[in-house]
């Protein structure tokens, strides 16, 4: 099997497997004060430091990392926790983009129903509509949320520049970045980016599923600009109640440490594989939906010649090759990808687009095999369509 769907999830790295195996008998509750509980708490604290370091933070800033059940929960906590931090706010406007992950967009729709004014910036061609941002960004803006990397197109947005301008115009604005797809793929971190809130997920970096994290800046805590929305025993500094997922967290810490230590070589490998993939795709007779600006090293959006993406997915799957048609979190939807339409594709083109997302365990041989099978699929399916 050739796995090319790493933006959906990744295989566990050996470091995570080893750490999880070492902790299988560590069943103490990290909140308990006895020996078993303290041993578990120590493991959680060690993992928190590893995740903090992987985000460019200092060891002493580790308490800014709040563990969650996933990236989706981290996004929900960031947005809802900020929007409802106070019953009444003078600022009621939120700025985001028209191609955010469902864990952001669907929360924005809820806030709209609750009376918030949500402004969505265009991302046509993979570039943010800076002109509209400048028109809308004023003292009425409560919150700005922009993803680092689009999970379907691979477009990278200049979030640092956007957040700096937002803070210049309104020092009280809260800035949030969904960095799930950019985490340990791009040389980015929350403090240099100017993000008050920053969401990441373990299973996108070869860690286990069921655990994510939210960076919360010290200023957000000090000024009480964010509140918890899962209420209970007050774990995770009171921001995310519920007994910690110990095995998930230690696996996350191990994967974060390994990914951070090998960041440069992993990134170079992914860029090399992406270039090879784009060459193979072109040779096969398909088109790469290339963003105008910077793009992620691991995502290739591919437009097929009038072949529905589902048809090609089934063909490739039968040949032992795993790709996707877009976000795994929205794969149950039968509608055409709004993200691809907003990118600039016609609806029939969006319906004929597949996504290849590369991982550090992929090889050049994987990519060449994929290219050959893709060409066979295009030739066969186009010929079959002409017959009927």
Tell me which of 227, 261, 295 is where a domain ends.
261
> Does 177 participate in catalysis according to the annotation?
no
Model's pTM, two decimal places? 0.95
Together in a domain, 228 and 172: yes
Together in a domain, 53 and 103: yes
pLDDT score recorded for residue 386 = 57
Tell me which of 261, 281, 306 is where a domain ends.
261
Together in a domain, 286 and 252: no
Query: 166-197, pLDDT tens digit by residue?
Result: 999 999 999 999 999 999 999 999 999 999 99
List own/partner pairs for 41-50 with CB under 8 A and 24 or more apart: 43/246, 43/249, 43/250, 44/244, 44/246, 44/249, 44/250, 46/250, 46/253, 47/249, 47/250, 47/252, 47/253, 47/254, 47/256, 48/249, 48/253, 49/253, 50/253, 50/254, 50/256, 50/257, 50/260
For position 188, which CATH number holds?
A: 3.40.640.10
Q: How far is CA 180 from CA 91, 142, 188, 386, in A?
A: 27, 23, 12, 41
Task: Give 384's pLDDT tier (boundaries 50, 70, 90).
Answer: low
pLDDT score recorded for residue 144 = 98
Is pLDDT above 80 for 69? yes
Together in a domain, 372 and 325: yes
**What whole-number percentage of the chain has pLDDT above 70?**
95
pLDDT score recorded for residue 336 = 85
Task: Give 88's pLDDT tier (boundaries 50, 70, 90).
Answer: low
- Of 26, 189, 322, 329, the active-site residue reads 329
Is pLDDT above 60 for 379? yes
Together in a domain, 269 and 203: no
Together in a domain, 120 and 247: yes
Looking at every residue in the chain, the average pLDDT score rounds to 94
Query: 96-136, pLDDT tens digit by residue?
Result: 999 999 999 999 999 999 999 999 999 999 999 999 999 99
pLDDT score recorded for residue 329 = 52
Which residue's entry shows tokens 């990441």?
A: 200
Together in a domain, 75 and 151: yes
Query: 254-267, pLDDT tens digit by residue?
Result: 999 999 999 999 99
Q: Give how many domains the chain has, as a whole number.
A: 2
Is pLDDT above 90 for 87? no
Together in a domain, 253 and 323: no
For position 359, which CATH number holds?
A: 3.90.1150.10
Query: 15-54, pLDDT tens digit by residue?
Result: 999 999 999 999 999 999 999 999 999 999 999 999 999 9
Is pLDDT above 90 for 86? no
Together in a domain, 137 and 61: yes
Is pLDDT above 60 for 387? no
Query: 283-308, pLDDT tens digit by residue?
Result: 999 999 999 989 999 999 999 998 99
Together in a domain, 218 and 118: yes
Query: 333-349, pLDDT tens digit by residue?
Result: 557 889 999 999 999 99
Q: Which whole number is the average pLDDT over 361-374?
A: 98
Together in a domain, 189 and 325: no
pLDDT score recorded for residue 199 = 98
Tell me which of 261, 278, 308 is where a domain ends.
261
Question: Domain span at residue 70?
Answer: 14-261
Together in a domain, 293 and 248: no
């Amino acid at each position: 099997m050739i796995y090319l769907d790493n933006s959906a999830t990744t295989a566990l790295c050996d470091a995570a497997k080893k750490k999880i195996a070492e902790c299988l008998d560590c069943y103490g509750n990290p909140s308990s004060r006895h020996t078993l509980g303290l041993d578990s708490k120590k493991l959680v604290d060690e993992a928190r430091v590893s995740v903090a370091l992987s985000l460019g933070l200092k060891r002493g800033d580790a308490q800014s990392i709040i563990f969650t059940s996933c990236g989706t929960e981290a996004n929900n906590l960031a947005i809802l926790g900020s929007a409802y931090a106070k019953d009444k706010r003078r600022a009621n406007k939120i700025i985001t983009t028209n191609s955010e992950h469902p864990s952001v967009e669907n929360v924005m729709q809820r806030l709209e129903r609750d009376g918030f004014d949500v402004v969505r910036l265009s991302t046509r061609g993979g570039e943010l509509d800076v002109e509209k941002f400048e028109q809308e960004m004023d003292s009425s803006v409560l919150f700005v949320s922009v993803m680092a990397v689009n999970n379907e197109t691979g477009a990278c947005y200049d979030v640092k520049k956007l957040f700096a301008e937002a803070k210049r115009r309104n020092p009280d604005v809260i800035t949030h970045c969904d960095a799930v797809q950019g985490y340990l793929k791009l040389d980015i971190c929350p403090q240099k980016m100017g993000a008050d809130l920053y969401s990441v997920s373990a299973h996108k970096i070869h860690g286990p599923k069921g655990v994510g994290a939210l960076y919360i800046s010290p200023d957000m805590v000090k000024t009480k600009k964010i509140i918890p929305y899962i209420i209970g025993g007050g774990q995770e500094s009171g921001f995310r109640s519920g007994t910690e997922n110990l095995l998930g967290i230690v696996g996350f810490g191990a994967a974060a440490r390994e990914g951070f230590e090998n960041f440069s070589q992993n990134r170079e490998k992914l860029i090399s594989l992406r270039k090879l993939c784009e060459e193979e795709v072109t040779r096969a007779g398909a088109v790469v939906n290339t963003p105008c600006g910077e793009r992620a090293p691991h995502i290739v959006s591919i437009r097929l010649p009038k072949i529905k993406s589902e048809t090609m997915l089934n063909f490739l799957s039968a040949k032992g090759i795993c790709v996707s048609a877009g976000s795994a979190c929205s794969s149950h939807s039968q509608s055409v990808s709004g993200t691809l339409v907003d990118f600039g594709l016609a609806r029939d083109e969006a319906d004929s687009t597949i996504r290849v997302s590369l991982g550090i365990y992929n090889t050049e041989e994987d990519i060449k095999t994929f290219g050959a099978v893709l060409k066979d699929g295009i030739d066969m399916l186009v010929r079959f369509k002409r017959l009927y």
